[in-house]
Amino acid sequence: MPYFSLESRKNMEGIHPDLAYVLHYAINYLDFKVVEGVRSTERQQTLFHQDPPVTTIDGVSKLSKHQIQPSTGYGHAVDLYPYPIDDLSSLSGIRREKALRRFVALAFFIKGLWEAMRRQEQVHGSLRWGGDWDSDFDFNDQRFDDLPHIEIIPDNK
């Protein structure tokens, strides 16, 4: 049975309890790694200024969901990698396609689990995935893909 490594557990420190709850449940069924949870402003700025940028949010004029949210005191986003972890930049063709499918499967598993728990009022809000920001199942209408990214969208938004 899969379980969280020490690194994954550390990377979940400071994330919203609802998100942590769903991830702890999900690890019993799918093997994945939490590669990043809460980010400092400095880390967000570094990712924003990379070439090419890894994020579209600078973390100063607008907070990333990875940063502590003033409304709750928690980070509202995580980056997840499905196992086995592949270096996507070194893959091509069918091997790359299969690796990308694991991101899709993980994201939709987590989102489905979240929705089931939301209906039972165990969690609140909804989830958004960086591979389908508008949740319309059209993966080609994106300007920026962030396949590892999952974030909470509060009910009041």
Model pTM score = 0.91
Question: Using CA of residue 26, residue 150, residue 130, residue 113, what is the dihedral sign?
Answer: positive
Tokens 């799918």 correspond to 30
The reported pLDDT for the residue numbered 32 is 96
In angstroms, the CA 73 to CA 35 distance is 20
Express each pLDDT in 11-68 by its tens digit. 999 999 999 999 999 999 999 999 999 999 999 999 999 888 888 899 999 999 999 9
Going along the chain from its start, the domains and CATH numbers come out as 6-153 (3.30.1380.10)
Q: Are 150 and 127 in contact (CB under 8 A)?
A: yes
Say how far apart CA 107 and CA 113 lie, in whole Å: 10
